[in-house]
Amino acid sequence: MAIHYQKVDGLDPDTFIDLLRSSGLAERRPADDRDRIARMLAGSNLVVVARNGDKAVGVARSITDYAYCCYLSDLAVDVRYQGQGIGRQLIAETRRAAGPETMCLLVSAPNAAGFYEAIQMPRQANAFMFPRQQ
């Protein structure tokens, strides 16, 4: 299996929704609200997709200024492809695209914290967040 990684200027909302569902991340995202998903994608300026042939099997969706910070909002890999290094490579490609001057920040889903620890992504104790109201 040859997975190809590509920074894309736009990702179809239905493709993103399919990846959210096939990865298990849909339970934590508004996957049933296509309009909101489309707005999320429209507001993202760094999206990296992992493909097996024409099939999208993973995505990293971020917001960055390409100079100082990058917020990696969504990392989703189809469960059938998990455990093959795709998530790790999506993060690497995101960091490469954002540039060496940027830090990369994400908020982990509770059941994914072990993945980030396994790839040795440093944990930050001084992060703060106002949760979304809906």
The number of beta carbons lying within 10 Å of the beta carbon of residue 78 is 20
pLDDT of residue 131: 83
Pair 63, 46: CB distance under 8 Å: yes
Determine phi and psi for 89, rounding to 5 degrees: -70, -35
pLDDT of residue 129: 81
Q: pLDDT per residue over 40-73, tens digit each?
A: 999 999 999 999 999 999 999 999 999 999 999 9
Looking at the DSSP bridge assignments, the partners of residue 106 are: none
Q: Residue 123 carries which DSSP code? A: P
Domain covering 3-118, topology: Aminopeptidase (3.40.630)
The number of beta carbons lying within 10 Å of the beta carbon of residue 9 is 6
pLDDT of residue 1: 65
Is pLDDT of 21 > 70?
A: yes
Torsion of CA 83, 89, 91, 93, to 10 degrees: -160
Which of 121, 126, 123, 129 has the alpha carbon at shortest distance from 90? 121
Pair 59, 49: CB distance under 8 Å: yes
Q: pLDDT per residue over 93-134, tens digit each?
A: 999 999 999 999 998 887 888 888 888 888 888 888 888 887
The whole model's pTM is what?
Answer: 0.91
